Structures are given as structure tokens and as C-alpha cells.
Amino acid sequence: MRMAPRPTPNSRLEQLTSLATLVRSWIVRSTTAAGSGHPSSSLSATDLMVGLLFGGHFRADLARPEHPSNDRLIFSKGHASPLLYALYAAAGKVTPRALLSLRKFHSNLEGHPMPAFKYTEVPTGSLGQGLSVGVGMALNARLDRLPYRTYVLLGDSEMTEGSVWEAVGLAAYERLGNLTAILDVNRLGQRGPTMFGHRVEEYERRVASFGWKPIVIDGHDLAAIDRAYRTASAETHRPTMIIAKTLKGKGVSFIENVNGWHGRALSREQLAQALKELGPVDVKLKGEVKPPPARIPRAVKTRPAQQPQYGAGDVVAPRQAVANALVRLALAHPALIVLDAEVSNSTYTEQFGTKFPKRFIQTFIAEQNMVGIATGLARCGKLPVAATFAAFFTRAHDQLRMAQYAGTHQVFVGTHAGVSIGEDGASQMGLEDIALFRTLQGSTVLYPSDAYAAERLTELALASQGLVYIRATRGMVPVLYDAKTRFNAGGSHTLRTSRHDRATIVAAGITLHEALVAADQLARRRIAVRVIDLYSIKPIDVRTLRRAAEQTSHLVVVEDHVEPGGMAEAVRSALGRLSGTVTSLAANRIPHSGTPRELLAQQGIDAEAIVQTVRSLL
């Protein structure tokens, strides 16, 4: 059989040039059909991406997007989605007709990449997040000893985001030679020139100072692009950043390097002019993507977890119990990875790091990067548990917001919640965290009140889906439950009840213990009250709450959290027409350093305040 001749270097570059022209034509056609989009930002990175996917550097089985050895490509500059879709059209995976459905309601080709498009690694578009996700994916390749490389397309505008530099720093620290960032330095942002414009040496200097290997190229020279990818692939001990000087709107003369074209589609007349400039294209031309090595992660056997052991009279901090559970459950969940933001001696996750050092990732004080890495790990099939002080998750709200769209299973543990942490003061007190996690679509919010609850709710979190938040009290509290007690999402436990209950106290965490003290004090005054442990805040036990509202007329919700977005709001939403029965006691005053006892009293959420409130209602 006669073999086809191998393409010469010139013919190979000529084919890439033709593919780039084809991709550019699809970019302008699709955005004009949509009437919106970001053609200029897509055109600047076209040569870089065509050279990567079709130049023999990117390895992936496009028929199996979830193949574990596929290279990863993250469009951190997600507004260049027309380029992403056009690339896969050139690979024969998106039809030209489908491209014209860009941004339409029925289409999976959305304005910014979402998982509905099966070649989207993670949803992007909120700038500054893609590199963190890429770090997570690169770390996963190391953990599983897989040969894939992770590529992240960055825009120069997002290089002012602090989260990018958090990721740059950790990637260098971890010596991630399997990570390549591609920086599209097209000079123009949304409203004008970027911080450094075309001064690529500024990016080169900064990146090199962190320990990366910088490669500066002309981003429209396909031969230089090819050499850069070969150099990056040969690097094994440090991450690489290809810093490419490009022109926004490249290939269309009247928008090329011209300000004011960000996020603007061409008119029909302008489209005709642009297509004439681009010249004839071969719509039958197909770009070939190199297949990945046939390697998959080795199977890891699971082992049954031991049961938690606490005795009557034990006093244990729920944060400690959550950490105990992670160690106890590690062998039953081989995909479990724990991430820390340099507080593991306070969250007690350091004991997991000691026992399973390869499955423990230290991100240092960089919560945004930690959440992004967790998303990258989760997209690769890992079960990440990210732990820090509850207050500091608010810093990563945007990363959490984007994680909800990834469809991944991730667990977040927030310790040091509420004013009950005491003397550390207001900056350390998580008082908004329940509200934050409640707003995330499909999320689960759990709030254990003792050691057994913390252990069981950790088990539940690992076995759940979506984003799960565990709010773990810092202080030592007595054990309330035993090994036979069951917990479930949407459940609660009624710890005090009688036929004569005149009010219901709803609480969780530290305030549940205050509620039990208050119930005993009220009982001595011959006032019977019901006490509900609302350990599942989302989903919530609607049936139990409605029954309590109907039978006792008054619900007093006590929480070590601000009222907006907290437990009281969750209870009111659950009760609907019965919401008027709810009285809220919450941490609504600016807190101060002091003992936990002083602070609970100052906020009006201690046992005495509960007693006074119930008596005034009755």
C-alpha cells in the first residue's frame, strides 16, 4: 500500500494558515448572526489557538471529551467563546449552521462558555479565574500520574486580577511543568488600553520573577507559535507562559487594533467587507487533533469507614469533629482531596495532611485560588473539601458563584463562625456565610451542633451532589446525640417537645445549646417550649417547621449570624403564610472583642435573651 507523503513544514503552516482564515470567517459570521458577541477578542487569539489544537500539540479524543488523558483547554477569557466554538467547527464537531445559533435561547453556544457545550472544561467569563482552575487540573494530573497538559488562554486585561497572581504564585511553588498559560496581549480592553498595552516585556519580567518560564512571541506568526508550544511541552519542572503580542480584531482591517470594538458585532455590510478581506475559505477543510496517550488512572480500592466514637459527657468542638470525619472517611472516598488556606492548625485539617500528605493541598492565604483549584479538581473527578474560616469564604464569592455553574460536587467547611469565636474580633467572625451559600443554586447548607452531628453531616456532604457547605462551630460544646442518630438533607431534630408547648425555639450550632438552657429555665417557670435543631438550613424541614408554627403560634429563630439571608429568612421562606409567627434573634450589632459569653449576650442571642423574648411573646 502506498503511504501518503508526510506534509512538509511549509505545507503544514500553510494548512494552519488556511484553518485560521476559516476560523476567523466563522467568528465574524456567527457574531453578526447573533447581533452581539466579542469578535475582536476572538480574532486576536485565533492563530494561537489554531496552532495549539491543529498544530499537533494538543492531544484529545474529541469523541470522548471526558477521557482522563485528554489535554485540558480553559478559556479564561471566556468572552472569546466565538473562537472556542469556531475551533470545534474546524475540527468537525460543530456544524456551520449551529455556529449561526450563537447566543440564541435554544442554543448550547452561549455568550460565555457553559457546560452545555461539551468541550467546555469549566464555565468562564468572570475574568481572573481560569488559571486557578488550570492549577487544579494540573495538580490532578500529577496526583493520578496522567500525561495530559493543561492550557489556559488568558487575556491581558485580566492580568490585573489578584486571583491570577495567586494562581501564578502557587503554580510556580508546585513546579507545575504540565501547565501552560497563553497570554493574548492584544493591548485593548473593554474601554481602552490595558495597563501595559503592548509592552510584553512587563509581563515577561513579572512572570519570570515568580519562577515561570516566559516565552515572548509574535502571536500571529504561526511558525513562532509552533516553536513556543514545543518549548513549553519540553518543560517539566516549571510552568510556562507564552506571552503573545497580538492585534485585537486581527484579519479585519477596519477593526484591527482599533479601540471601541470590544463586544461589538459587525453589521451585515461590515461582515461582507470583512469576508472579502479574509479571502476565500475552504469550508470542507478539517483540522486534525492529535489523540491522547491511552492511559487511565489506576483503580483504587475503597475501605469501609470506621464509626465515630464519642461518649456521653464528652465536650468536643464541631470543627474538630469535621476534621476527624475527613480522616475517618478518607479510605472510603479515595477521590477525597483536602485544601487549606494556611489555617489547618485551626480547622484541624492538618491531621488529614499528616495522614494523607499527597491528598492535601496547601494553597496558603489565597481563598479565591483555593476555590478555583477545587473546581478544577472536581471537574477531573476528585472530591475536594476546601476549609478555612467562614468569614474568608466571602472573599471567594465570585469563584463560588461560577462553581455553581460547573455542575461539580465540592464541599466547603467554614469554621470560626459567628461572634461566639470570642476575642479575635469582628474581622474573623463569619456572620454572612449562611447567606452566601444559600444563594448558590442547588447548594446544600449544613450546620452541626455537636460532634456526632458534625461527623454524620460530613458523611452526608461527601455523599451528596453539588456544592455543600458545612458551618462548623469553633467552641467546645457537649455531645447531644449518639451513634444511632440519623441525619439527612432537609431534616431536623426536635430535642424538646410536649403537648403543652406554647412557643418553638429554632436554632443550630452554638445557639442550640443556648436554646436548650433557655428551655430548661422556662420549664422551671412552667412555660413549655419546643426546641428544634435546624441542622439542615438548605434544604429545610418545611413539614416540621409548619407543624411547630401551627401548634405553638410563636417561632423564635436564634442564630449566630446576621438576620439578612440567615436562618430566620430561611424559616420565613419555608413557612409562607405562617411566616408572621417568626421572631428573629440574630447577630445584628457590630461585634467587639470579648469572651464568647459576653458576645452572645451583647448580640441578644444567649439563653437569657431567649427567655426574655419568649416571655414577652407570651
Residue 170, Cβ neighbours under 10 Å: how many?
Answer: 24
CATH fold of the domain at 12-278: Rossmann fold (3.40.50)
Query: Are 461 and 468 within 8 A, CB to CB?
Result: yes
Residue 240 has pLDDT above 80, yes or no: yes
Query: Are 37 and 296 within 8 A, CB to CB?
Result: no
pLDDT for 2 equals: 45
SS3 of residue 216 by DSSP: strand
Nearest to 532 by CA among 562, 470, 574: 574
* Cell numbers standing for residue 471: 458551618
Burial (Cβ within 10 Å: 0-12, 13-18, ≥19) of residue 164: buried
Describe the crossing of helices 46-54 and 222-234 by its angle, rounded to 10 degrees.
Answer: 60
Q: Round to whole Å and give the CA distance between 168 and 477.
A: 41
Q: Which residues pair with 496 in a beta bridge?
A: 531
pLDDT in tens, 488-537: 999 999 999 999 999 999 999 999 999 999 999 999 999 999 999 999 99
Nearest to 80 by CA among 115, 52, 49: 49
Alpha helices by DSSP H, 266-365? 268-278, 318-329, 344-347, 350-355
Q: How far is CA 443 from the centre of its chain?
A: 12
Residue 343 has pLDDT above 90, yes or no: yes
pLDDT for 100 equals: 98
Query: Are 178 and 150 within 8 A, CB to CB?
Result: yes
CATH fold of the domain at 493-617: Rossmann fold (3.40.50)
pLDDT for 394 equals: 97
CATH fold of the domain at 315-478: Rossmann fold (3.40.50)
Q: Round to whole Å and give the CA distance between 83 and 49.
A: 8
pLDDT in tens, 137-184: 999 999 999 999 999 999 999 999 999 999 999 999 999 999 999 999
* Cell numbers standing for residue 128: 481572573
Longest CA–CA separation in the chain, Å: 99
**Distances in Å between the alpha carbon of 287 and those of 9, 40, 56, 60, 607?**
16, 22, 10, 13, 70
Per CATH, 12-278 and 493-617 having the same topology is answered yes
pLDDT confidence bin for 551, thresholds 50/70/90: very high
Q: How far is CA 500 from the centre of its chain?
A: 47
289-307: average pLDDT: 89
pLDDT for 311 equals: 87
Q: Round to whole Å and give the CA distance between 273 and 270.
A: 5
pLDDT, averaged across the chain: 96
Can you give the residue ranges of every domain in the chain? 12-278, 315-478, 493-617
86-101: average pLDDT: 98
pLDDT in tens, 24-41: 999 999 999 999 999 999
Residues marked active site are found at 367
pLDDT for 4 equals: 46
Residue 1 has pLDDT above 80, yes or no: no
Residue 6 has pLDDT above 90, yes or no: no
pLDDT in tens, 554-603: 999 999 999 999 999 999 999 999 999 999 999 999 999 999 999 999 99
Query: Are 547 and 581 within 8 A, CB to CB?
Result: no
pLDDT for 417 equals: 97
pLDDT confidence bin for 295, thresholds 50/70/90: confident
Which range is least confidently modeled, 133-147, 227-241, 300-314, 466-480?
A: 300-314
Describe the crossing of helices 9-34 and 81-90 by its angle, rounded to 10 degrees.
Answer: 130
* Cell numbers standing for residue 10: 511549509
Q: Round to whole Å and give the CA distance between 205 and 305.
A: 50
